[in-house]
Amino acid sequence: MLGALDPDLGDAGVGALAGLVEVLAGGGDGEDLLSVLGNAQVNGQKLTELQLFHNGWLYIIGGLETTRNAISGGLLALIEHPEERIRLLKDPALMPTAIEEILRWTSPITHIARVATRDTELARTKIKEGDRVALWIPSANRDESVFDDSYRFDIARSPNEHIAFGKGEHFCAGAHLARLELRLMLADLLSRIEHIELAGKVERLRSNLIAGIKHMPVRFSQTRAAA
C-alpha cells in the first residue's frame, strides 16, 4: 500500500489502496476496528469514503508498517553489528535500551510535515508563518548535539531522547504496543538463532515516508535448544 513510488510495487499498491476504501466503505457487522469505523456516524452521517480512507491508511501505517519495519531494520542492525547482538544475548537486561536504540537507528517514519503558526528561526534558518516544513526524523535522531557518537549503534545508549514516535501532542498512541511487539519478537528470535548473516543484497522500499525493507535474504543456524 505504501509502495506507490516503488517500481516493483507501484501497480499493486494502487490496487491495495482501492481495496482499502472498498473494505471500509462496506462497513461490516463485526466489532473489529475497521467495521466500527465503517459504520460510525458523526452528527447522524457516516464518514465519507475520503475520511474512511485516511483513517484506515493511518491505522495501517501506525499499526503495521512502522513496527514491522523497525523489526526488520533492527535485525539488520544486529546483523551488521554482531558485537551488539552478542552483547544483548549475554545480557538480556539490555533489551529495553536496545529497543530504544533500534527505534532511533531505524526511524521507520522518515519525515512528518507541519505548517508554521508564526514567524520563527530554527538553526539559523528563518521560517515564516504559513510555511510548510518537512521534519526529517532520521536526521534528528542522529543530531550530534543530542546524541553522543550519534552514528554508533549502541544497545545500551542512555539517555536516548529519540523522536521515532514523535513528540508532545503528536506522540504515537501505539508506542507501548510497538515496544512490546519489538521486545517479544526480538527476544524470541535471538533465543532461537546461534548465528545469522546476510545472504544477499538488502533491497529497500522506494518511499519518501517509510524506511522499509523489501528483501533481506539471511543465512542462519538454530541454537541446539531451538532445534
Q: Domain range holding 76? A: 10-222
DSSP 8-state code for residue 169: G
CATH code for the domain in which residue 154 is found:
1.10.630.10
- What radius of gyration do the chain's Cα atoms show? 20
pTM for this structure? 0.86
DSSP three-state, residue 81: coil
pLDDT in tens, 39-85: 888 899 988 878 877 887 787 777 888 899 999 999 999 999 999 99
Is 227 inside any structural domain? no
The pLDDT score that the predictor gives to residue 213 is 94
Domain-located, residue 1: no
In 3D space, the residue among 226, 220, 172, 165 whose CA is nearest the CA of residue 198 turns out to be 220
As to burial, measured by CB atoms within 10 angstroms (0-12 exposed, 13-18 middle, 19+ buried), residue 225 is exposed
**Is 121 contained in some domain?**
yes
The predicted model gives 185-206 an average pLDDT of 94
Phi then psi dihedrals of residue 156, to 5 deg:
-105, 10
SS3 content of the chain, % helix, strand, coil (to 5): 45, 15, 35
pLDDT of residue 168: 87
In a domain? residue 83: yes
